[in-house]
Amino acid sequence: MTEDRTEEMTGGATHESWTGKLDAYLDGELDSSQMHELDRHLRECSACTAEALRRLQWKRAIHSAGQCYLPDPALREQIQKTISPAKPVWWQWRPAFAAAAAVLLLFAGARMVQQKIVWPKEHVVQESRIVSELADLHVATLASANPVDVVSSDRHNVKPWFAGKIPFSFDLPELEGSQFELIGGRVSYLEQSPGAQLLFRVRRHQISMFIFQVRALPVDFASAGEINARSFHLKSWQRDGLQYFLIGNVATEDLGTLSNLLGK
């Protein structure tokens, strides 16, 4: 009866059907209604939560491994020297003027295309990748049995814990009298740079605040804004050389209120 009742409450979905959607969930490929349903299921099912965390760690390990083995920039030059036979001096100088003109024209055209098309695309890809990585970190935190390494609602206990663990300091406001509660914090990594992750609770929802040095992010990364990240809302801003991110499955008004309390 219990199993039948559970399937009835979840619209007939079975445990196997939820598990089959985890990869699409982690890749942000489900529609918003399915994301919300699976979010709710993960909060209630410890087995699926553990499996989601296992797959997330696996995906991140593969991504990190792919970044570790990049070819040496000098390799192309060495290969080119090996396959290109040496030409006599007279051959190099005879078409010099015509070749120089052609190269200059091509270079100018390439620069125009690069400035108008390539860089904007790269910027969008970088921003999307960072937002996705923050969503992964938040999901991993929600799925973890030990989401924070320092457990305390007292900012005077949480802030000193980070000393020596990250290369910067930050301030935390007094939340007494507000609807928000500080749960604790841990060290997180973005673009292989250490930063602080603080976990807050509002009603039954949890919000992650990430703090990283601006110089650890790609150049021209958006300094402020509100972004949809899977089924989460994300708000970011910069202050005093630090980039702040708030992400959670809450209303944007909640993120705005918390960001104001944090001194945005």
Q: What is the mean pLDDT of residues 13-41?
A: 76
pLDDT at 7 over 50: no
DSSP collapsed to 3 states, the chain: CHHHHHHHHCCCCCHHHHHCCHHHHHCCCCCHHHHHHHHHHHHHCHHHHHHHHHHHHHHHHHHHHHHHCCCCHHHHHHHHHHHCCCCCHHHHHCCHHHHHHHHHHHHHHHHHHHHHHHHHHHHHHHHHHHHHHHHHHHHHHHHCCCCCCEECCCHHHHHHHCECCECCCCCCCCCCCCCEEEEEEEEEEECCEEEEEEEEEECCEEEEEEEEEHHHCCCCCCCCEEEEECCEEEEEEEECCEEEEEEECCCHHHHHHHHHHCCC
Query: In this predicted model, what pLDDT tens digit does every residue of 125-170 receive, in sequence order?
Result: 677 788 888 888 998 888 888 899 999 999 999 999 999 999 999 9
Query: In this predicted model, what pLDDT tens digit does every residue of 106-119 receive, in sequence order?
Result: 454 444 444 443 44
Q: pLDDT at position 227, please?
A: 67
